[in-house]
Structure 1
Amino acid sequence: MKPLKSTLLSLLLLPSIAAASSLTVIKSPTCGCCDKWIAKLPDKYHVTVEHPGNIAAIKAKLGIPAAGSSCHTAVHDSGLFFEGHIPTGLMDSYLAGKRSQNGIGLTVPKMPIGSPGMEHGGRFQAYRVYELLSNGKAKIYAEVASKAEQDSMME
């Protein structure tokens, strides 16, 4: 009888374990680097792309300041967001709980050359990933100094 209960419990929990996380990516329909970043997302994310009229208003409502803005915003089904060309491994860590208690999302301001989706030959510009907090402040979450370091964050 115990193996049967164990099997039934496993079957009941399976859908929640197997369910993919959802990301809604908000971007301009003409932005090609956003599409390149989306293509790098692992299959565990179910991605929906939207092209709203006033992207800046949506970013402001989420708590993304203009200085921390980039070309696209990915909103996770948990409500956390990822602004710009963030390495997917950092997104995974953030969603797994490696964040401040009042953290609301990560941002890579602007569009650093060589960041995921912004590849340009062999060029690479070091950049910082910031965590945005619910009190309107930001702090450094990660520093990406080289392409090799970034590649290790894409797994």
Structure 2
Amino acid sequence: MSSARRILFALAAFAGATGAAHAANPTMFRDAGCGCCLKWLELVKASLKAPVKVVNSTNMNAIKDKQGVPQALRSCHTVLVGGYVIEGHVPAREIARLLREKPKGVKGLAVAGMPTGSPGMEYGNQRDAYQVMTFGSGGQRVYASYAAR
């Protein structure tokens, strides 16, 4: 098989895997070198309502591109659950709310960057102010705000 065909085959397999994960059980895509992702997962896995498959990736940008995560909202890990995309350190209660309410025009939730004090990014009693944002065909809007402390 030529190298071009191998690349096309790999891309097709990747697209199929990420599409299937979107409709099936939750799947987390993460860089293997990132430790906060698994810490976040431990804190929110009850909200995901099923065992989570963890996939280590060397090209997280390709996953985020495929799932339509806006550049300004990107973080370290991407989770596909219940037909939604969860980007970064989104708190469990916001994921549960999204899965319960199923708002129209929302493709997913995101916490941009890696704010101190967000789930998986705990540092003592400190917390940066941050927002959980929606994104999708309905645009971007604030879904929840967390104050600094």
- Shorter-normalised TM range: 0.7 to 0.9
CA contact (8 A) 1:113 1:125 kept: yes
Higher strand share: 1
Give the Å deviation of 1:143: 0.6
The structure number with the bigger radius of gyration is: 1
- Tell me the alpha carbon deviations over residues 128-149 of structure 1, each in whole angstroms, 9 at most, x when there is no partner: 00000226x21111111156xx
Amino acid at match of 2:51: H
- State yes or no: 1:138 paired with 2:140: yes
> Would you identify which runs of 4 or more consecutive aligned residues in structure 1 move more than 4 Å?
none
CA contact (8 A) 2:75 2:87 kept: yes
The alignment of Structure 1 onto Structure 2 pairs a total of residues equal to 124
Match of 1:96 in 2: 100
- Tell me the alpha carbon deviations over residues 46-95 of structure 1, each in whole angstroms, 9 at most, x when there is no partner: 1110012321011011110111100001101x320110001101101101
- State yes or no: 1:51 paired with 2:62: no
Gaps of 5+ in 2: 1-23
1: CA distance, partners of 2:50 / 2:142: 25
- State yes or no: 1:112 paired with 2:115: yes
CA contact (8 A) 1:63 1:134 kept: no
2: CA distance, partners of 1:35 / 1:69: 17
Tell me the percent identity. Answer: 39
- State yes or no: 1:39 paired with 2:42: yes
SS at match of 2:33: coil
Gaps of 5+ in 1: 1-20, 148-155
SS at match of 2:25: strand
Match of 1:8 in 2: none
- State yes or no: 1:83 paired with 2:117: no
TM-score (norm 1): 0.74
RMSD across aligned C-alpha pairs, in angstroms?
1.6
TM-score (norm 2): 0.77
SS at match of 1:46: coil
